[in-house]
Structure 1
Amino acid sequence: MPVELVDAQGRAVGACPVAQAHTAPGLAHRAFSVLLFDGAERVLLQRRAAVKTRFPNLWTNTCCGHPAPGQPVVEAAAVRLYEEFGLSAALTEIGVFSYRAGDPATGRVEHEWDHVLIGTLFDAAPQPDPDEISDYAWIGIDTLRVGLASDPAAYTPWLSGVLDVVEDVLSKTP
């Protein structure tokens, strides 16, 4: 699967296979992170499956992935949400951030221009794909922030950035 390479401003500058983008030192590319809320203002987290090539067994946002070159981010995120969790939800892109993180366990590198999307899940029950997700949990953002501070190694390195974008937008919502 190809990913879309980006420059420092997030503009498309080419494409390459996903494995090449994640090989050290890592190539900057477009990605997305989805965070679903429930009616009790909790967020749905997943624990990445042990077979994942980057940051396996760590807790992270609801789902994440890469749009194909030229593919709308919201469309790609909706497809991935269904593939990983068997869920459909209206998604809204709320911001973007960039990060770079190496995975000491696998030697792979994330260097991503990450689009953050949120949605609300009302009645559907998650049906996680065991090849993608080993566990899931609903958790309040305040409790999640405590966990991130007390045991950061249990979480993916991008989760904090996702929460920063979400909390910034929520703080401006009346």
Structure 2
Amino acid sequence: MTPDEHVVLLDDEGNAIGTAPKAAVHGLDTPLHLAFSSYVFDGDGRVLLTRRASHKLTWPDVWTNSCCGHPLPGEPAHDAVLRRLAYELGLTVAGADLLLPRFSYRAVMDNGVVERELCPVYRVVVSGAAAPNPDEVGETRWMPWQEFAGGVLDDRLPISPWCREQVPYLDKLGADPLAWPVADPADLPPAAR
């Protein structure tokens, strides 16, 4: 993160209403802002999980989905997914498939810090290996989707709160993550298009 990186602040309908420095937006009264989540799969349907770096402000050392982040002001969410996958995991990909265009959540850490995001969810399929950036990722591991989803759904796997809320929606899309239907980008919140 650069010191001047900004996130997009949103109203309840997903319209941009301003920006704020990323370093200052997460606190006890975090405003709704634009983000994304992505799930990286290999050709066998295994999902790439990441453990967040230990120095992260929110949920340090917590296992989560492949890559999350914030679109820059004026940047479409799809482009932000590709940018952050390259930065965090060293993955260069041609595209990302929109799955959940209007996913939103609010979570509170034990110390009171709040995360509050409108967070479209994407699928990415890769053939190469990840090269994690230690500034962002502490560890990675691949897991068969059904094993992972089952562990999250029955609370056997400790996972980030946003991922815990996303998995039930993704599970309803079908058993094979490579065959999940792609959502219409027109359903994205206006600020994410």
TM-score (norm. length: structure 2) = 0.81
Map 1:3-152 to 2 at 5 A. 3-89=7-93, 90-95=95-100, 96-105=102-111, 107-122=112-127, 124-148=128-152, 149-151=154-156
Q: CA RMSD in A?
A: 1.8
The equivalent of 1:166 in structure 2 is 170
Opposite residue 150 of structure 1, the aligned amino acid is D
Equivalent position SS for 1:117: strand
Contact 1:63 1:84 survives alignment (8 Å): yes
Moved more, 74-83 or 6-15: 6-15
Q: Displacement of 1:161 after TM fit?
A: 2.8
The structure that is strand-richer by fraction is 1
Moved more, 88-97 or 57-66: 88-97
Moved more, 85-94 or 47-56: 85-94
Q: What is the CA deviation profile of residues 118-138 of structure 1, one whole-angstrom value per residue up to 9, with x for unaligned ones?
A: 11012x111001121111111
Q: Does 1:156 align with 2:156?
A: no
Looking at structure 1, the residues matched to 116 and 168 of structure 2 have their Cα atoms a distance apart, in angstroms, of 18
- How many equivalent pairs are there? 170
TM-score (norm. length: structure 1) = 0.89
Q: Displacement of 1:2 after TM fit?
A: 0.9
- Which 5+ residue runs of structure 2 have no aligned equivalent? 182-193
Q: What is the CA deviation profile of residues 101-126 of structure 1, one whole-angstrom value per residue up to 9, with x for unaligned ones?
A: 01115x4211000011111012x111
Moved more, 16-25 or 32-41: 16-25
Looking at structure 2, the residues matched to 9 and 64 of structure 1 have their Cα atoms a distance apart, in angstroms, of 21
Q: Displacement of 1:25 after TM fit?
A: 1.7
Opposite residue 20 of structure 1, the aligned amino acid is A
Contact 2:149 2:171 survives alignment (8 Å): no
Contact 2:37 2:121 survives alignment (8 Å): yes
Q: Displacement of 1:151 after TM fit?
A: 4.1
